[in-house]
Amino acid sequence: MHLQTRPTRSSSSRVGRIPIPWAAVLFVALLVAWEAGARLGLISDLFFSSPSEIFRTGVREVGGGRFWRDLGLSSVEFLIGFAAAALIAVPLGLLVGSSRRFGYLISPWLDGLNATPRIALLPLVVLWVGLGFWAAVIIVFLGAFFSIAINTSNGVRTVDRRLLNLARSFGASRGKVFLTVVAPATVPYTIAGLRIGVGRALIGVFVAEIFGGSAGIGYMIKVAGQTLQTDRVFFGVVIFILMGVALFGGIGILERRFERWRPVALRT
């Protein structure tokens, strides 16, 4: 028997992947078409603005102090809420997946609350902590927590039984099996939960600032929309997109770091 500890990349993982240069060409072509439509009057500036105007607005916003305060607030709300969610959800997911009795007790609550729209919980959060910073942090936490916990617990349940039997045949204790087989094999599921959690946490930042904030990128978008500043609305959306891309990139680096650590195949 041979335990393979480093994954082999199959050619199927590259099927359907669009090369980066072609993706860039498509992106530039869409921007050119958008700009041309705006300049020719085919697209109303009132409702859709134009790439050049959004860029000029972005330059003005970046040059002002208010934008950096808004960006800093939104970033801190996200980081605190998401970090707290990950630190609690990962151990809880591992415990739920590894203990059948505990899973029977907790899984229905995780599934039920995960299916609940986070915005429906906002009035309760406001009653608990009021409007402002901590309400946003809690909404971010709720947005990310359930995705991470559920994916992690599902990962534990799908661990290859042959790996477990092999480890036990060498006399590994239950704790050793958990640390060397279960936890590493759960990494892809935890990473998937983190990816989903990032998107939902960013939505949480936006929703909290829209409905109960007085600062932040979401609040900037809200004010811009109310005053028909379409270019500022699009600029705020671009900031959220860039935050998401950066965060997904960071999770991708984390995934590549841990993929060498986990056992993925058992060959006879």
Q: Identify the pLDDT of residue 10.
A: 44
According to CATH, what is the number of the domain 64-267?
A: 1.10.3720.10
Query: Over the stretch 199-252, which tens digit does the pLDDT of each residue have?
Result: 999 999 998 888 877 889 999 999 988 888 888 999 999 999 999 999 988 888
Round to whole Å and give the CA distance between 6 and 103. 30
Q: Identify the pLDDT of residue 98.
A: 77
Gyration radius (Cα) of the chain, Å: 23
pLDDT at 12 over 50: no
Tokens 């603005």, residue?
49
pLDDT at 81 over 90: yes
The long-range contacts involving 238-242, CB below 8 angstroms and separated by at least 24 positions, are 238/54, 238/58, 239/71, 240/202, 240/206
Where is pLDDT greater, at 47 or 245?
Answer: 245
Q: Identify the pLDDT of residue 172.
A: 64
Of 9-23, 26-40, 131-145, 160-174, give the lowest mean pLDDT range: 9-23
Q: Would you list the domain boundaries of the chain?
A: 64-267
The pLDDT mean for the chain works out to 81
Provide the 10 A C-beta neighbour count for residue 12. 7
Question: Could you write out the DSSP letters of every residue in 31-91?
Answer: HHHHHHHHHTTSS-HHHH--HHHHHHHHHHHHTSHHHHHHHHHHHHHHHHHHHHHHHHHHH
Of 9-13, 87-91, 103-107, 230-234, give the lowest mean pLDDT range: 9-13
pTM: 0.80
